Amino acid sequence: MDFNFTETQGMLRDTLHRYLADTYDFDKRAAMLKRDGGRDPGVWTALATELGILGAALPEAYGGFGGGPIDTMVLMEEFGRALSVEPYVPTVVLGAGALVETGGAVAEALVPGIIGGEVIIGAGFYEPQGRYNLADIKTTAKKDGAGWVLNGHKAVVVAAPFATHLLVSARTGGSQREAGGVSLFLIDASTKGLVRRDYPCVDGTLASELYFENASVPADALLGAEGGALPLINKLADHAAVAQCAEATGAMKKLHELTLDYAKQRKQFGKAIGDFQVIQHRLVDMFMEAEQAQSMTLMGTLRLDDPNREKWVSQAKAKINKGARALGQWAVQTHGGIGITTELAAGHYFKRLTIVETQFGDLDYHLGRLEALI
């Protein structure tokens, strides 16, 4: 089996790597987080118009390059290395993914806008009481003439503070945890009756709590069949989980490199701490975790079309959640107290890995899902 990237995928990786090396050094990223909105909108525009990478994984029918999950994996690993705050997962993986799956006039209108950088999507699938159960939904959508009226609360919606559209699940039937009766809606972020509470996450990225208070949306806000969206939502969440695995892999590799460089420079008892055997062993352990993360991410990505997709995704996410935490802790321990200071990049990588560990299923969730599946 050939595990090498195609020439196009290699060019995609190299192009993004060079751009992020110039745009996302540590000081520039810190300055972006202090801006209104927590990002530099010009970067997203450049990714779309100058690099043209937002359509790499999307179908040619919508103006994309016709790639797929492997292309997303290539891009996400580079985003992870650079600690990028760009909303690629909610916008391209989840938002465009939902539109491509459901099709229709809305997809034809908005997917080209995503590729061109004009449309940014925040995805709200989770609620406070539901943990990682995508069927545990209290948010309701009731018919109102030709449209719908939404009421409820969506938690930790990444990219919502600056999104143009919001992708949310809501109950159009059934009981709170029932698999049936779940529908998917794509609504304008300026919808009347939508209240947003924005806040920074521990890694500096922005998210929102969304409150729907008799929010009226048009009929075409409904994506796909009414009440039958849960299988699609589960599929989208698994694609996003594997994309986050790729991001974690990039961050783990970079954090290992930073720690290795520090161990060569930091001196104790007259020599570099990297000369001590216990530190060498720890650095090897970190390297192995990063390499295993890359392998598990590739396995999960290649199995996204497998009938047993959930099993493969949970194996990858569980392994990477565990490995990312271990590697992050070892990196901070090797750096010592300076490893958690604001001025040093290492601590910020650890914070980002901690956030990724909780997104789309933590270790306990994926181990539990594996137990149920196997």
Q: What is the DSSP string of 85-97?
A: ---HIIIIIIIIH
Q: Is position 1 within any domain?
A: no
Q: Is position 148 within any domain?
A: yes
Instruction: Specify whether the CB–CB gap between 210 and 257 falls below 8 A.
Output: no
pLDDT per position as a tens digit, 249-273: 999 999 999 999 999 999 889 899 9
Do 217 and 246 share a structural domain?
A: no
pLDDT above 90 (res 2): no
Do 128 and 49 share a structural domain?
A: no
Q: Measured between alpha carbons, how far is residue 58 from residues 91, 124, 165, 167 in Å? A: 12, 21, 19, 18
Q: Is position 187 within any domain?
A: yes
Boundary (domain end) residue, out of 212, 228, 244: 228
Boundary (domain end) residue, out of 172, 199, 228: 228
**Per the structure block, which two tokens stand in for 19?**
């751009």
Q: Rounded mean pLDDT of the chain? A: 95
Q: What is the mean pLDDT of residues 93-114?
A: 97
Q: Is position 250 within any domain?
A: yes
Q: What is the mean pLDDT of residues 176-193?
A: 96
Report pLDDT for 224: 96
Residues 59, 64, 67, 70, CA torsion sign: negative
Report pLDDT for 185: 98
Do 239 and 205 share a structural domain?
A: no
pTM for the structure as a whole: 0.96
Instruction: Work out how many domains the chain is built from and give that number.
Output: 3
Cα 215 to the chain's mean position, in Å? 27
Q: What is the mean pLDDT of residues 169-191?
A: 96
Do 259 and 323 share a structural domain?
A: yes
Q: What is the mean pLDDT of residues 227-242?
A: 98
pLDDT above 80 (res 1): no
pLDDT above 90 (res 78): yes
261 Cβ contact partners less than 8 Å away, ≥ 6 residues apart: none
Do 16 and 71 share a structural domain?
A: yes
Q: Is position 74 within any domain?
A: yes
Provide the residue range defining the domain that includes 146. 122-228
- Percent of the chain at pLDDT > 70 equals 99
pLDDT interval class at 174 (50, 70, 90): very high
Do 349 and 237 share a structural domain?
A: yes
The residue type found at 206 is L
Q: How far apart are the first and last CA of the chain?
A: 26
Boundary (domain end) residue, out of 119, 143, 160: 119
Q: Which CATH number does the domain housing residue 203 bear? A: 2.40.110.10
Do 316 and 191 share a structural domain?
A: no
Q: Is position 292 within any domain?
A: yes
pLDDT above 80 (res 47): yes
Q: What is the mean pLDDT of residues 34-43?
A: 90
Do 49 and 161 share a structural domain?
A: no
pLDDT interval class at 84 (50, 70, 90): very high
Report pLDDT for 12: 93
Measure the CA dihedral 320/324/330/334, to 10°: 130
pLDDT per position as a tens digit, 3-30: 688 889 999 999 999 999 998 888 899 8
Q: Which CATH number does the domain housing residue 100 bear? A: 1.10.540.10
pLDDT above 90 (res 343): no
Instruction: Specify whether the CB–CB gap between 24 and 87 falls below 8 A.
Output: no
* Per-position b or e across 58-87, b if 16+ CB within 10 A of its CB: bbeebebbebebbbbbbbbbbbbbbbbbbb
**Per the structure block, which two tokens stand in for 325?**
């935490």
Q: Is position 50 within any domain?
A: yes
Do 133 and 12 share a structural domain?
A: no
Report pLDDT for 24: 87
Report pLDDT for 341: 87
The residue type found at 121 is I
Looking up tokens 């594997």 gives: 242
**Per the structure block, which two tokens stand in for 339?**
């490893």
Do 307 and 347 share a structural domain?
A: yes
Report pLDDT for 121: 98
| Strand residue runs (E) in the chain | 121-124, 140-144, 147-158, 165-171, 182-188, 194-200, 206-217, 222-223, 267-268, 271-272
Report pLDDT for 156: 96
C-alpha to C-alpha distance for 81 and 50, rounded to whole angstroms:
21
Instruction: Specify whether the CB–CB gap between 74 and 5 falls below 8 A.
Output: yes
Nearest residue to 243 (alpha-carbon basis) of 351, 131, 320? 320
